[in-house]
Amino acid sequence: MTRVRRVLAPNPGPFTLEGTNTWVVGDGPSVVIDPGPDDAGHILAVLDETEGVGAILLTHRHPDHAPGAARLAEASGAPLYAFRPEEGEQRLVEGQVVETGVVRFRTVHTPGHTADHVSFLLEPDGFLFTGDAVLGRGTSVIDPPEGDMAAYARSLQKMVDLEPKTIYPGHGPVIFTPRGKLEYYVRHRTDREQQVLAALAEGKQRPEEMVPGIYGGEVPPDLYPAATRSVLAHLLKLEREGKVARTGRAKDQRFLKVTPRECERCGRPAAPGSRYCPRCGLAALQEGLPREARD
Ligand SMILES: [Zn+2]
Ligand SMILES: [Zn+2]
């Protein structure tokens, strides 16, 4: 089994837990995932754990994961890989294999926390390095417009399908029961969505009005602003699915639940803004119905 060591960055906080986990994987040479903040002492501690660095991988470019990478690349001479590379860095794409010595990683694009977020599957150990997509404790922050709840839901399913044996998160403890953890994450998002829909049904229209009812017992009030962003992420996903409509200007956005229409032909839910479900809409188009009958 490949050896994995954690070097904890000195940046604890409400969103980083004990600090960022910098992962040192394999030996002769090692691969370093997420060097963390640009902290000279931390980068030295990372170098102490390695027997030469073969590659540096970034899960995403947030300030708690990426800025130390340039310093580590300079000190070690190792190539730096990122989904959104900067000058002199290597570009990662979905499915790309990065191989150094005995270590072989597959890149898995897992957007949602950010659009550029990737996870790394260590084959054949089944170790998945998830950055901020899955945390050792608590749940991931989805903050629009960078964060995208619909993309995140798809990424969670993608990670379930990979059937990892162990998850090495960007923050918090190693996860030895990945299936249970990922199922909890999926359930958590579905439950939240139901809570947001229930709040809309009660007549609440703004994300900040919904937060105390949804998060009341779970998070202290100083984390309400972050929770508000998460509720907004759910509302934007529901808007795209045609279940919610948005009104008002940027500063005073309001959301309203859309009562679903039934398809006039088959009774299944109609597509947003249409009298028909997608299938009957297509049939109507092929039958050459006049345009006004399809609006
Ligand atoms: Zn992040
Ligand atoms: Zn992070």
CA-nearest of 154, 68, 148, 162 to 107 is: 162
What pLDDT was estimated at residue 284? 86
Rounded CA-CA distance 128/20 in Å is: 16
Distance from residue 170's CA to the centre of ligand 2 (Å): 6
How far is it, in rounded angstroms, from Cα 197 to Cα 13? 31
The Cα 262–Cα 274 span in angstroms is: 10
pLDDT at 289 over 80: no
Q: Which ligand is nearest to the CA of 143?
A: 1
pLDDT of residue 223: 87
- Buried-state track 235-251, b at ≥16 Cβ within 10 A, e below 16: bbbbbeebbbeeeeeee
Residue 292 has pLDDT above 70, yes or no: no
Stretch among 19-23, 32-36, 172-176, 257-261 having the lowest mean pLDDT: 257-261
Separation of CA 245 and ligand 2 centre (Å): 32
**Confidence at residue 294, expressed as pLDDT on a 0 to 100 scale:** 47
Question: If you measure from the C-alpha of residue 19 to the centroid of ligand 2, how many angstroms do you get, rounded to a whole number?
Answer: 8
Distance 246 CA to ligand 2 centre (A): 30
Task: Identify the CA nearest to 129 among candidates 13, 19, 22.
Answer: 22
| Structure confidence at residue 67 (pLDDT) | 97
The string over 99-129, giving b where at least 16 C-beta atoms fall within 10 Å of a residue's C-beta and e elsewhere, is ebeebbbbbbbbbbbbebbbbbbbeebebbb
Q: Which ligand is nearest to the CA of 17?
A: 2
- The mean predicted confidence, pLDDT, of the chain is 93
Distance (Å, whole) CA 112 – CA 150: 7
pLDDT of 66-105, one tens digit each? 999 999 999 999 999 999 999 999 999 999 999 998 899 9
112-126: pLDDT as tens digits: 999 999 999 998 899
d(CA 26, CA 174): 17
Question: Cis before residue 220, ω within 30 degrees of 0?
Answer: no
Dist. CA 132 → ligand 1 center (Å): 5
C-alpha 15 to ligand 2 mean position (Å): 7
**What is the Å distance from ligand 1's center to 125 Cα?**
25
Q: Which SS3 state, helix, strand or coil, does residue 141 take?
A: coil
- Cα-to-chain-centroid distance, residue 130: 9
Given a cut of 70, whether residue 141 has pLDDT beyond it is yes
pLDDT band at 251 (very low <50, low <70, confident <90, very high): confident
Mean pLDDT of 216-234: 90
- Output the CA angle 295-255-232, nearest 5 degrees: 120
Q: For residue 14, is pLDDT > 90?
A: no
Alpha-carbon separation of residue 39 from 66, 82, 83 (angstroms): 11, 20, 23
